[in-house]
Structure 1
């Protein structure tokens, strides 16, 4: 066979395969969107009833912290922040 003829056959077969895959995808796309929408609504409703069963709303998850409360940061024998690491002072010059 001629190389040009082989190339034309491969291009036609490739175009047919791509067309078949695109056709299958486009025919399945509405079903996938419908199933996705149904699952989204199902999980939203399920989450709503789980939260309602626990007895709190989504706005009650806020917690305020006192800025003077160091207990949330302490892990035992941690020293003050200034003593933990050495600070290196660097003088920068502007490059012109």
Structure 2
């Protein structure tokens, strides 16, 4: 049950960031300031989204297969979010798959 709560919390925290970064990129670069400010968030989200295949392998292998993209995403999530620092690698991988 706690895994589900953590995954839900991470998903809830990530969706506004993802939505904001996608909105910023789909609207085009209306000004240098807006594209510069959304660039880092968009890049952060991209790292997490690109880790989905690695996360799937990690979950399916019960933690035996660890890909480089998953490692980068785990590091990024833990840098941005206190709840992620408290979660296990498996819980975070499951949360990445829920995105």
Q: TM-score range by the shorter chain?
A: under 0.3
Relative to total residues, which structure has the larger helix share, 1 or 2? 2
Of structures 1 and 2, the larger Rg is shown by 1
Determine which structure has greater relative contact order: mean sequence separation of CA pairs < 8 Å that are 6+ residues apart, divided by chain length: 2
TM-score by length of 1: 0.27
